[in-house]
Amino acid sequence: MKMHNPPHPGEILRALCLEPLGLTVTRAAQALGVSRKTLSAILNGRANITPEMAVRLSIAFDTTAASWLRRKSLTVLKLAA
């Protein structure tokens, strides 16, 4: 069964969380308690969402950690297919 190309969680984070709030990468990284480099790697698809980052995102953006991890899983499954 062929899978569609799910967006990387970083794309979703940028489009649905950072841009609507007018947050810069630097400001968002500070608010999340991570380095700018770490957040930038996620936003640019070079790194994936860890369980710890999923919890941080869920608190900051009033979502669930599970939703971020599901997005990550879809990306990983697509790469494996």
pLDDT per residue as tens, the chain (81 positions): 565 788 999 999 999 999 999 999 999 999 999 999 999 999 999 999 999 999 999 999 999 999 999 999 988 888 787
> HSE on the CB side for 16, CA within 13 Å?
13
pLDDT value at residue 34? 98
Domains delineated in the chain:
9-76 (1.10.260.40)
pLDDT value at residue 35? 98
Rg (CA), the chain: 12
Q: Give CA–CA dist 72/21, Å, rounded.
A: 23
- pTM tops 0.85, yes or no: yes
pLDDT value at residue 41? 98
